Amino acid sequence: MTDKNVYGPWAVVAGGSEGVGAAFADRLADAGINLVLIARKPGPLNETAEKVRAKGVEVRTLELDLLDPGALAAIRAVTDGLEVGLLIFNAGANSYGHEFVTGDLTRVQGVLDLNITAQLALTHHFGALMKERGRGGIMLVGSLSGYLGQAQISVYSAAKAFSRVFAEGLWLELRPHGVHVLELVLGVTRTPAMERAGLRMDLPGLRVAEPDDVAREGLAHLADGPVLVAGGNAAAAQKRSGFPRAELALAAHEASRKMLPPSS
């Protein structure tokens, strides 16, 4: 169980309303850690808050779009009086799938702002406080997409690659100060967002993880940074890191096309 003396008494979960984020909230509540849950959708956010609040922890919610220029100020208004020992950034998403050169650069910028800029802002703020206290943890939820460029999500894949390399450097900077850093790399995970997208998860040989399993794995290995590939996907990550790149990219492209719904 997650040690609240190291990662408590409060945790902030950005993207904490459903799927993996809700699973993190559930497990942290079991450990007696109070929660600040941040998400855009009030329905799932409040539902998750009520569920974990019933376990006896204090829960604060913040309905917020992290692309809002005032997002950090809004988060600080809720958290400045709290001792936050854990930040989980689970808010990054593949929010725009389109060929890059014919796409909308404004929406491309949104992918970068959510997956990189917002992540850096929260990590900078809470990381400095943890360093000063000499304890805490930062978990950045990544993706296997960050190991290989992919058509239609080239910018998202690049953003996830940035996050992984950033986590490695941050881990080196904060480990002398008792602050743990982990990039938790997810493969295909059965989340509400995946289901809404209509992606096929019944393909033969496809490894599909459950949100609670990856949340449990991530929290169990938070002190073992800087990178953990969850859900039994370590071999896939290693393969995607190899050469020649053209062959790997083409093979991954064909495999990903099979997951798309029939109308895509």
- What does each C-alpha distance from 77 to 29, 71, 123, 257 come to in angstroms? 22, 10, 16, 44
Active-site entry in 7, 96, 147, 156: 156
Please tell me the total number of residues recorded for the chain in this structure.
264
CA 119/CA 163 separation, integer angstroms: 9
96 is catalytic: no
CA 242/CA 67 separation, integer angstroms: 34
CA 120/CA 107 separation, integer angstroms: 19
CA 56/CA 116 separation, integer angstroms: 34
Omega within 30 of 0 (cis) for the link into 9: yes
Residues assigned a catalytic role: 156
